[in-house]
Copies of this chain bind each other. A is one copy, B any other.
Amino acid sequence: MDKKSKSLSKNQKIVLDFIQKNKKPVKAYSILSNVQKKGINAPPQVYRALDKLIKIGKIHRVESQNSFVACKISNCGTPHKTVFSICNSCEIVSEINDPKLFKNLKDFRDKDGTVFDGYNLEFFGTCKSCKNKQIENTKH
């Protein structure tokens, strides 16, 4: 079907599997401690798998958190073109899929007319659920 998808190696599968099971982004050393029972012993094994998974677009790095999250955009396959919203309170991260915004970013040129290969955009705010909790805590 998908010509691009060379099958992943053992460690890459293990790491991807763990990341995909998590709703929130996960940290490298959290991945490590959670997959040690599967035979991954040391940081380089995790970081190598992460590098590869990022390169093929299966996961993204959340720069402001040093954490990693599965790509939610069906087989986007594009690393380094990412938009996230991040809750300052619970730190949950959602990948944003907004065609109009994508177009704005894709079409952006700087003053020199430079065309960019990629971008990373992180929005910060308070998610709905956390906002509701804050309101709850106010009335007492």
User: Chain A interface (Cβ within 8 Å of chain B)?
Assistant: 63-64, 80, 85, 88, 94, 96, 98, 101, 104-105, 108, 110, 112, 114-128
Contact = CB atoms under 8 A, between A and B. Distances in A.
B117 A124 contact: yes
A122 to B, nearest CB: 5
A119 B123 contact: yes
Nearest to A119: B123
A131 B54 CA distance: 25
Nearest to A65: B63
A112 B108 CA distance: 26
A98 B85 CA distance: 21
A127 B115 CA distance: 9
